[in-house]
A and B are shown apart, each in its own frame.
Chain A
Amino acid sequence: MSVMLSQMRRREILAALGAAGLAGAFWPGRGLSVGQGNGDSLTRPEQAQVAAMAEGIIPATDTPGAIGAGVPAFIAMMYRDWLLPAEQVAFRRGLAECQAEARAKYGKPFQACAARDQFALLTLWDKAASAAPPAGPKPPFAMFKALTIVGYYTSRTGQEQELGATMDAGLDDPKGPATFVNLVRL
């Protein structure tokens, strides 16, 4: 049962990624032949935009933010090796739409905008993504935010510095920790 539940949490995350526009996330491998990949990678300008957007979602505070946790590289890897071809197309289109909106509003690419302008844009996109009906298609920003959050909180920085989690910290405190839990972490 506990195995099933750890599986459920994994599936919950995969399902949430699916709801965020990664249609195949819930069924890994389906419709894809072994070793399939199109070798497509994000361009350098796209990577700069990704870094700025990710840092806006998870900024450095008293702990490092997305850039400090290596999230841009994680997203670039997931784009290259994990997203299905159709998802790559949607992801790239989403980046281009964000960039177009930044230029239209502030006359600059997103990564060159002032921090408060970046925050305003990200807030706008996040609200639109949150307001999208659960059943229908999600704006590509939902996929971007999900990859940012997964990338940050599963990074060493996110796990150790932000969450204080370590792999061997399990304790059987004889006083009985009030909140002894029963799920493997992810």
Chain B
Amino acid sequence: MTEQIYDAIVVGSGVTGGLAAKELTERGLSVLMIERGRDQKHGDYPTEHVPVSDFKYRLLGDRRNGASSEAGGYNEASARYFAPGTDHPFTVAEGTRFSWYRPATLGGKSLTWGRQSYRMAPLNFEENATDEHGVDWPLRYGDLAPWYDHVERIAGISGQAEGNPLSPDGIFQPPMPMNAYEREFKERVGKAFPDRTVSIARTANLTRELGDRQPCHYCGPCERGCSAGAYFSTQASTLPAAQATGRLTVMTDSLVSRVTTDKEGKRATGVEIIDTKTRQKKAARARMVFLCASTLESVRLLMLSANEPHSGGLGNRHDVLGRYIMDHQFSDAVMTMLPANGIANHGGYRPCALFMPRYVNTGGRKEAYLRGFQLNAVVVPTNWSRALSFPGMGIGADLKKQLKSTGPWMLLLVAQCETLPRWDNRVTLDPVVKDPWGLPVLHMNVTWGDNDKLMREQAAMSLADMLAASGYGGTMRLPLDSIPGGVIHEMGGAVMGNDPKTSVLDKHNRLHDIPNLFVTDGASMPSSSQANPSLTFMALTARAAAFAADALKAGTL
């Protein structure tokens, strides 16, 4: 058999891997997409629309099989899409904590993601330079704006244009509607704070058809998979597009164990692969390699690929690889109860909440901390489970009657806080512990810095003040734990920059040292901003793929 040389190998099949495969194949390239997890066909979502009564533990999960997780989106119905932690161990530095959630199937986390899709603001691309933290972005908002347009058209983002420069408008499908209490919240905040915008979340859930994908039918638990394709996933969107070109090869159950280079270490030549079912080793060759394996796995893969010319890992001549690891922090939740008076029961399960663009450290006002946060606001009725948390509801027919009627509502605010890129927040290969494939695991040494902690604390106070000033009483603060990795917005580790001495990737997301090796997932982010990051990962991926395809054709890659 003649060994095939692909135009490109894409490692990973999630939000960025699937998109890279689509963009590269549609530009005429032959692509091999390699996924560690098992195959997962679109539409084969066995728990979709299954009522709670049909789950053995009624969605409380099996406490005795060890498959426990506090990951967003993880529950008894979606557990099949999450990899057991025992398969993918990692270690943490003494005195630190880290949460790391890994998917189990083709499509990666695109099947279970939160779907919140916000552009970073022009300011976000400038602050590393202006306040001198981390590495200056090698591009600015204007460089990425057309690519945001491009990926928003592909993903299908519903949302409301607001003209707020701290959360730039995009190409939106019509927004999902607000409920009565949400509209009231928007009005009240607008009166008290004219500069603060309450808007419906911008979410990769359709409100209009997009190709074969149907608009959201408001059934609720997106994380079980959506055979209507109403939210953006690899299976619903990018995979069928890439397959339609006839130029995509998909390899599942295949773990990429290293990226190979030529003898001089100047060009990537392909990858080495472990078949996770047979444990047999394979190899594949390509003219370029895209790492889209998720922030931390892409960083780990660069480290695992160390060779003679790159003894500290690919792209690590200056000890930058693995540094500047970031996540977002959620503040404590601030909430109040709203009476059920006159509000009927609900008519659907909207897959998103409200948001408010960053409103701190803008214009002339300066806070005691740098950067800022975006606000999430949720207004929901309590359900029958209030009988568990509200004491004194009694028993018998009277209890039943109370629980049948609509209970009080909750108005709940949580700030999503930017964390600063810090040199000391790093991951390395553990010198001792290995995964089930014999590969060194990651050792996490990531903590929150002083600025991160101060912002998180002041954000909760700001939210409480906002509720009070908007006429809401009875405010309560609910403590939320904040573990690095817990928001599942890992970023950094192979950051982009203009200077090869201080960054791993250039402005086209390729290694300064190896021009045909690209990293386009969250590892490339020099700062985290306050925005949910997947849309930015996608924009960077599409931009890099276009550059790579053009360079390949021009013979300049």
Q: Are A167 and B49 in contact (CB under 8 A)?
A: yes
Q: Are A154 and B59 in contact (CB under 8 A)?
A: yes
Cα distance A183–B411 when bound, in Å? 13
Interface centre among B71, B349, B355 (most CB of A within 10 A): B349
Residues from chain A with Cβ under 8 Å of B63 in the complex = 24-25, 28-29, 32, 82, 84
Q: Are B396 and A59 in contact (CB under 8 A)?
A: yes
Given contacts A2-B114, A5-B378, A16-B389, contact A179 B343 (CB under 8 A): yes
**Cβ contacts B317-357/A at 8 Å (1 or 0 each):** 00000000000001001000000000111111111110100
**Cβ contacts A131-151/B at 8 Å (1 or 0 each):** 000000000000001100111
Stretch at the interface among B173-181, B274-282, B522-530: B173-181
Stretch at the interface among A92-100, A106-114, A170-178: A170-178
Quick one: closest B residue to A119, CB to CB? B396
**Cβ contacts B24-66/A at 8 Å (1 or 0 each):** 0000000000000000000000000111111011111111111
- B189 located at the interface, meaning its Cβ lies under 8 Å from any Cβ of chain A in the complex: no
Cα distance A84–B67 when bound, in Å? 15
Q: Are B351 and A2 in contact (CB under 8 A)?
A: yes
Q: How far is the CB of B145 from chain A (nearest CB, A)?
A: 24
- A68 located at the interface, meaning its Cβ lies under 8 Å from any Cβ of chain B in the complex: no
Other-chain contact of B75, A10, A119, A180 (Cβ < 8 Å): A10
Q: Are B114 and A3 in contact (CB under 8 A)?
A: yes
Q: Are B218 and A178 in contact (CB under 8 A)?
A: no
- B1 located at the interface, meaning its Cβ lies under 8 Å from any Cβ of chain A in the complex: no
Given contacts A16-B388, A84-B63, A186-B385, contact A171 B397 (CB under 8 A): no
Residues from chain B with Cβ under 8 Å of A172 in the complex = 176-177, 207, 215-218, 348
Given contacts A176-B177, A178-B179, contact A145 B350 (CB under 8 A): no
Q: How far is the CB of B101 from chain A (nearest CB, A)?
A: 12
Interface centre among A122, A151, A163, A183 (most CB of B within 10 A): A183
Residues from chain B with Cβ under 8 Å of A151 in the complex = 58
Q: How far is the CB of B76 from chain A (nearest CB, A)?
A: 9
- A6 located at the interface, meaning its Cβ lies under 8 Å from any Cβ of chain B in the complex: yes
Residues from chain A with Cβ under 8 Å of B381 in the complex = 179, 181
Residues from chain A with Cβ under 8 Å of B71 in the complex = 7
- B95 located at the interface, meaning its Cβ lies under 8 Å from any Cβ of chain A in the complex: no
Interface set, chain B 480-537, CB cutoff 8 A to A: 532
Q: Are B397 and A59 in contact (CB under 8 A)?
A: yes
- B362 located at the interface, meaning its Cβ lies under 8 Å from any Cβ of chain A in the complex: no
Stretch at the interface among B251-259, B398-406, B460-468: B398-406
Q: Are B64 and A37 in contact (CB under 8 A)?
A: yes
Interface set, chain B 348-380, CB cutoff 8 A to A: 348-353, 355, 376, 378-380
- A13 located at the interface, meaning its Cβ lies under 8 Å from any Cβ of chain B in the complex: yes
Cα distance A167–B380 when bound, in Å? 18
Given contacts A82-B57, A146-B388, A182-B352, contact A1 B395 (CB under 8 A): no
Cα distance A112–B62 when bound, in Å? 34
Q: Are B351 and A182 in contact (CB under 8 A)?
A: yes
**Cβ contacts A4-40/B at 8 Å (1 or 0 each):** 1111111111101101100011011110111111000
Interface centre among B60, B221, B355 (most CB of A within 10 A): B60
Cα distance A10–B68 when bound, in Å? 13
Q: Are B114 and A156 in contact (CB under 8 A)?
A: no
Other-chain contact of A159, B52, B115, B379 (Cβ < 8 Å): B52
- A47 located at the interface, meaning its Cβ lies under 8 Å from any Cβ of chain B in the complex: no
Residues from chain A with Cβ under 8 Å of B400 in the complex = 58-59, 61, 63, 162
- A57 located at the interface, meaning its Cβ lies under 8 Å from any Cβ of chain B in the complex: yes
Q: Are A82 and B68 in contact (CB under 8 A)?
A: no
Q: Are B51 and A181 in contact (CB under 8 A)?
A: no
**Cβ contacts B216-247/A at 8 Å (1 or 0 each):** 11111111000000000000000000000000
Residues from chain A with Cβ under 8 Å of B347 in the complex = 169-171, 173, 177, 179-180
Q: Are B64 and A32 in contact (CB under 8 A)?
A: yes
Residues from chain B with Cβ under 8 Å of A20 in the complex = 388
- A46 located at the interface, meaning its Cβ lies under 8 Å from any Cβ of chain B in the complex: no
Q: Are B216 and A35 in contact (CB under 8 A)?
A: no
- A41 located at the interface, meaning its Cβ lies under 8 Å from any Cβ of chain B in the complex: no
- A79 located at the interface, meaning its Cβ lies under 8 Å from any Cβ of chain B in the complex: no
Q: Are A16 and B385 in contact (CB under 8 A)?
A: yes
Residues from chain B with Cβ under 8 Å of A30 in the complex = 68
Residues from chain A with Cβ under 8 Å of B376 in the complex = 1
Given contacts A4-B330, A16-B389, A178-B343, contact A56 B384 (CB under 8 A): no
Given contacts A159-B52, A163-B404, A179-B179, contact A2 B352 (CB under 8 A): yes
Q: Are A181 and B179 in contact (CB under 8 A)?
A: yes
Q: How far is the CB of A132 from chain B (nearest CB, A)?
A: 9
Cα distance A181–B379 when bound, in Å? 7
Q: Are A185 and B52 in contact (CB under 8 A)?
A: yes
Cα distance A27–B69 when bound, in Å? 9
Residues from chain B with Cβ under 8 Å of A10 in the complex = 59-60, 75
Q: Are B396 and A182 in contact (CB under 8 A)?
A: no
Q: Are B60 and A82 in contact (CB under 8 A)?
A: yes
Other-chain contact of B392, A59, A130, A145 (Cβ < 8 Å): A130
Other-chain contact of A177, B49, B68, B113, B179 (Cβ < 8 Å): B179
Cα distance A157–B58 when bound, in Å? 13
Q: Are A179 and B345 in contact (CB under 8 A)?
A: yes
Q: Are B344 and A178 in contact (CB under 8 A)?
A: yes
Other-chain contact of A183, B116, B330, B380 (Cβ < 8 Å): B380
- B383 located at the interface, meaning its Cβ lies under 8 Å from any Cβ of chain A in the complex: yes
Q: How far is the CB of A140 from chain B (nearest CB, A)?
A: 15
Given contacts A58-B400, A122-B396, A163-B404, contact A81 B64 (CB under 8 A): yes
Q: Are B64 and A180 in contact (CB under 8 A)?
A: no
- B555 located at the interface, meaning its Cβ lies under 8 Å from any Cβ of chain A in the complex: no
Q: Are A182 and B349 in contact (CB under 8 A)?
A: yes
Q: Are B353 and A181 in contact (CB under 8 A)?
A: no
Cα distance A38–B291 when bound, in Å? 46
Interface set, chain B 70-84, CB cutoff 8 A to A: 70-75
Across the A-B interface, the 4 shortest Cβ-Cβ residue pairs: A170-B218, A16-B388, A177-B347, A29-B68
Q: A10-B60, A170-B347 are in contact. List 11 more A-B contacts (CB 8 A).
A: A2-B203, A34-B65, A56-B395, A58-B399, A82-B63, A158-B384, A170-B218, A171-B348, A172-B348, A183-B349, A186-B52
B residues lining the A interface (CB < 8 Å): 49-54, 56-68, 70-75, 112-116, 176-181, 201, 203, 207, 215-223, 330, 333, 343-353, 355, 376, 378-381, 383-385, 387-389, 391-392, 394-397, 399-400, 403-404, 406, 412, 414, 416, 532
Residue contacts A-B, CB under 8 angstroms, 13 given = A2-B115, A2-B201, A2-B203, A4-B72, A29-B67, A34-B64, A156-B54, A169-B219, A177-B179, A178-B344, A181-B346, A183-B220, A184-B221
